[in-house]
A and B are shown apart, each in its own frame.
Chain A
């Protein structure tokens, strides 16, 4: 099946720094990538939808200046958490989709801000 690689899997950094998370579709060209956030014991909450070559569409309540999304190619999308603070600590998951095919998920990134 399709493979989506997400990197890093776990990152710990100091408050105030920026963190970049990469999401790559390894064996198909993803027209759309999605970024989700998941708090412990909760469901996945969609943060934004990213189409290749265009600006991301953010869900209500998600700060676009805080969570920068870039989708420069059909195989790569990045999420940058700018000036991260402890409340940004969470599990972030990306998924990649194309047409009517089911989305394929990355393995997630555990972000811990000290």
Chain B
């Protein structure tokens, strides 16, 4: 079974600074997808960024980027120029890569990010 581990229950960053959230996973599959989701106090799940395991290039979305290390099974999220609106719970998630099939997500335990002035 796949597992996702987020070892940082809480992180804090000052506005405009950069923060990195850690995530490791365990799988025996070679093809899969990795995600970072943001859950603000409203509890809505918002997709932040997605990475396909077969792609060597790290995904980026504006101020959000990942460091994907497939051999190390590591998938960290970097948030640059942090904003107050970035404060939320962040979940790392894994999805098996059966092509054409909507497969289930396995979530990590989450990291609560605080953004301070």
Contacts and interface: CB of A to CB of B under 8 A. Distances in A.
Interface of A: 30-32, 34, 38, 42-46, 49, 91, 93, 95, 97-103, 105, 107-108
B113 to A, nearest CB: 14
Contact of A103 (B44, B101, B102): B102
Contact of B105 (A101, A103, A107, A108): A103
B107 A43 contact: yes
Q: Which of A45, A98, A103 has the most CB of B within 10 A?
A: A103
B104 A102 contact: no
B45 interface: yes
B68 interface: no
Contacts of B109: 42-43
Per DSSP, chain B at the interface is loop
B72 to A, nearest CB: 22
A31 B102 contact: yes
30 contacts: A31-B102, A32-B101, A32-B102, A34-B104, A42-B109, A42-B110, A43-B107, A43-B108, A43-B109, A44-B45, A44-B105, A44-B107, A45-B107, A49-B104, A93-B45, A97-B103, A99-B100, A99-B101, A99-B102, A100-B33, A100-B100, A101-B102, A102-B35, A103-B102, A105-B44, A107-B42, A107-B43, A108-B43, A108-B44, A108-B45
Contact of A102 (B43, B47, B99): B47
Contacts of A32: 101-102
Interface of B: 33, 35, 42-45, 47, 50, 91, 99-110
Contacts of A44: 45, 91, 105, 107
A108 to B, nearest CB: 5
Given A44-B45, A46-B105, A102-B35, 15 more contacts: A32-B101, A34-B105, A38-B43, A42-B109, A43-B91, A43-B107, A43-B108, A43-B109, A45-B107, A49-B104, A98-B102, A101-B102, A102-B50, A103-B102, A107-B44
Nearest to B6: A43
